[in-house]
A and B are shown apart, each in its own frame.
Chain A
Amino acid sequence: MTTKHLEKINSLLLPVCFAGVLLVMYMALGWAPLETTEGHVQRIFYVHVPVSWSAFVAFFVVFVSSILFLIKRSEKWDWLAVSAAELGLLMTTLSLISGIIWGRPTWGVWWVWDPRLTSTLLMWMIYVAYLMVRAYSSEAGRGSRMAAVIGIIGFADVPVVYYSVVWWQNIHPQPLIRPGNLELTGSMALVLLTSTIVFTIFLFYLISRRFLLEKATSELAVMKRTLREEEQDARIAKIKIDRAENK
């Protein structure tokens, strides 16, 4: 797939995303029935679940493209990895914030050290470190390689963290309300499904936009370097000519 194709798909996706988000807003805020026990607060669920899902999809993309980058050493996998990581981090942040806002009125607490919440928080931290390593690496090429290793280990670590917290709780049950399962009616499930599809498309739109930006940035850096080298060569050549003339 060339850049042109990607740009074309992108320009088609933008109106789809825009319409989709409007539709989801209408469905979630107006059309979906009022949940009997939680009331209107429950509607945050139609954002919370899709962003959490998108975060996971994005990190899966990071995982796969990190592996491909280490095997094939093609820059484009690195561009894809960093794009997906940034958006995954954004989605995880939204997931954590919406979860906290939802938790307070429903469970009476902002936060529970429950397996899902704990592993999400640690996942967030792993990908913050992922982006920091890229930003602080001593050489750009090394940063990509180091980040790829973190992208792989970090993703593999999330289920390990999850199960270790499950065990931690099983042995020491916490005296708190556990996130219960909502009774989903048919129309609620439909809203959730629509919202998840829209958010996933939106995620891919954003990732591909970010990918094109990363590609342009990297190509610009190469251009600048060649230009600088050419300038330098010209300067050296000029000095040589001057010296020859002086003789």
Chain B
Amino acid sequence: MVRLNDLHEAEAEHLRARAGAMQRIEPGTWLTPKPLAESTVAIVSTAGLHLRSDAPFTLGALDYRVVPGDADWGDVVLSHISTNFDRSAFQQDPNISFPLERLHEMAAAGEIGAVSPRHYSFMGAMPNPSLFADTGSEVGQMLAADGVDVALLVPV
């Protein structure tokens, strides 16, 4: 994501301080995945997007929303709280942060094996990633149950 030097000085300093306070996540067992062309792929986003019928995200939200693999962009809204990132490109083309249509195109072309029937959205801007341990593990179990081999994590 963006260079800190591209941001407003106060925002850059804030984010630099956050990085300094973040704790390293110990890696699990190293896995060599099967070929991408045989892999089922899901998107996990921190853009705070969700279906219009879902409850919006609230301040400090650690929960998530399910985005169906056949979601219609007309049913999608975004309730991320930050005002410091641009929404206009997402409004123009949601694939710019949630590339669902691109996954379907890559599956049709044989670049990936399949698109997961379910994808997941969290709200970012959370300084301590470890707070997502419970809901993150839950989403991991759901992805496994859907036969997902690769999770494409897309911060916003």
A pairs with B: no
B residues lining the A interface (CB < 8 Å): none
A residues lining the B interface (CB < 8 Å): none
